Copies of this chain bind each other. A is one copy, B any other.
């Protein structure tokens, strides 16, 4: 059996939550999936306006929240006051390595670190549900300058 598509997941989520399918929801899901990097609500809004100039930003904010609830997106917070969203479904978990010089961001992953985090939480009796790891540094380019 093939894996569910994002569209199927989203529709299933909507109907289970007694929410409705609308043109905006379908359109913004597609547009969101086309982004290959994390996007802010404003970036997605600007992108969306190119196709549908009547869309409202509140709609973009609201639908991004739905995507998070549906398990299709996750919020990433680089601490600059802007919430960004990235695809979650079908991609492996990763953390972020951020250059303090040029803001270039790389997705990284280390299964050993993940495992150690889980154990660390358990040492305190916690059941770990989630984590966020941000590594800040200087990329090769900015190191040299």
Contacts and interface: CB of A to CB of B under 8 A. Distances in A.
A133 B136 contact: no
A97 B113 contact: no
8 closest cross-chain pairs (CB), A and B: A125-B140, A126-B137, A128-B137, A130-B136, A132-B134, A127-B138, A131-B135, A129-B137
Contact of A131 (B99, B121, B136): B136
Interface stretch (A25-33, A42-50, A53-61, A104-112): A104-112
A120 interface: yes
Contacts of A103: none
B137 A130 contact: yes
A112 B116 contact: yes
Given A75-B79, A129-B137, A132-B134, 16 more contacts: A97-B120, A106-B126, A108-B120, A108-B123, A113-B116, A113-B117, A125-B143, A127-B137, A127-B138, A128-B136, A129-B136, A130-B135, A130-B136, A131-B135, A132-B133, A133-B133
